[in-house]
Chain A
């Protein structure tokens, strides 16, 4: 099986997603590090990306990190999307990540 191609246009990385595999899982299995890995359960919002091209199915995601209006714009959690076609994705900076940096800065 060939699988579907995922292209991250922010970082230039490519990887292949097999049937039933989430984008994040495929990325992790191939040792690619172009999307941050958090809980892998749709809960923490760490792996939020924007899908700019292609079709996909969504699993359950925290409404806080992927509200309906964001999903509409293709802003989804990589751990909970399953490609139906080849995908082009991009990274999005998160307010949560900015907050997190403040904490880690204080803690360092």
Chain B
């Protein structure tokens, strides 16, 4: 958080059928619908999140991710970050307050991997859903499905990982928590963090620009991941892989698809970092184990099916 970028704040996901998608993200995943806007977008949050929304669904004729936004500590940091991006040669666009409902102004920019990101500092603080601020109970009643705890991170696929790393690390203040290196030292996967979390965002090398691999949501326990797997079967939801464990981050995980083919992850566990920790390195020839720690082989769908 060296430069004042605090945490993942939101992701806007394109879906082919809005109501089918809302049902998936609420009934199955347990997010809570908090609002809709006059562009037809639907706003959702997970119950432990303190701001009004973290997931925005937009109906479009092609699924994928429009942008991911990060919350910045304060206005002074936002002003400085905008200047730093411009000085680094990044084109920025100013999105006015209120474009996303109850969200302050946003600074939007694209990185060489072909993905759009945003920084903002103000969003309506609504508090955790279903629990009081004073003497809060352990969890709220009335949560649906997987009862996702929080929007955690995204994984993006695209080219130019080194140039993308420069912006995230040198301008935005992320640090490298984990990486996959080819024999010649070329980095083909980079996991970046702002916190003690194993990752707040990750990139994997891919020739085509701007591809979306998944949006990930945190669960508390392995039992919760197994219960998510049960719910995926009960609802005949398209599964990708899991329940299993990753080598990278060592998180316990399951992957599945929303009704428009965007991949979702729910996971628990995972490693932690402090500033004295060195990045963890996986060798590309061990990529099977790095990605699926139990199977130790790559599943082609996981590496190539993207929106």
Q: Which residues of A contact B64 (CB under 8 A)?
A: 43
- Are A103's CB and B63's CB within 8 A? no
Tell me the smallest distance from the CB of A27 to a CB of chain B, in Å. 14
Q: Which residues of B contact A62 (CB under 8 A)?
A: 16, 61-63, 260-261, 307
Stretch at the interface among B100-108, B190-198, B242-250, B298-306: B298-306
* Cβ 8 A contact of A103, one of B207, B261, B285, B307: B207
Q: Which residues of A contact B208 (CB under 8 A)?
A: 96, 99
Which of B251-268 touch A at CB < 8 Å?
A: 257-263
A61–B17 CA distance with the chains assembled, in angstroms: 10
> Does residue B116 face the partner (Cβ distance < 8 Å to A)?
no
- Are B305's CB and A38's CB within 8 A? yes
Q: Which residues of A contact B287 (CB under 8 A)?
A: 107-108
Query: Interface size of A by Cβ–Cβ distance < 8 Å?
Result: 24
- Are B305's CB and A103's CB within 8 A? no
- Are B260's CB and A41's CB within 8 A? yes
- Are B303's CB and A44's CB within 8 A? no
Instruction: Write the A71-108 contact mask toward B (1 if CB under 8 angstroms, else 0).
Output: 00000000000000000000000001101101110111
Given A104-B298, A107-B287: A40 in contact with B304 (beta carbons within 8 A): no
Q: Which residues of A contact B301 (CB under 8 A)?
A: 37-38, 46
> Does residue B128 face the partner (Cβ distance < 8 Å to A)?
no
Which of A30-76 touch B at CB < 8 Å?
A: 37-44, 46, 60-64
Which of B170-220 touch A at CB < 8 Å?
A: 182, 188, 204-208
Query: Interface size of B by Cβ–Cβ distance < 8 Å?
Result: 33
Q: Which residues of B contact A61 (CB under 8 A)?
A: 16
Which of B56-114 touch A at CB < 8 Å?
A: 61-64
Tell me the smallest distance from the CB of A13 to a CB of chain B, in Å. 19
Given A39-B261, A102-B207: A64 in contact with B304 (beta carbons within 8 A): no
A96–B298 CA distance with the chains assembled, in angstroms: 18
Tell me the smallest distance from the CB of B236 to a CB of chain A, in Å. 9
> Does residue B284 face the partner (Cβ distance < 8 Å to A)?
yes
A42–B62 CA distance with the chains assembled, in angstroms: 9
List A residues at the B interface (Cβ < 8 Å). Answer: 37-44, 46, 60-64, 96-97, 99-100, 102-104, 106-108
List B residues at the A interface (Cβ < 8 Å). Answer: 16-17, 61-64, 157, 182, 188, 204-208, 238, 257-263, 284-285, 287, 298, 300-301, 303-307
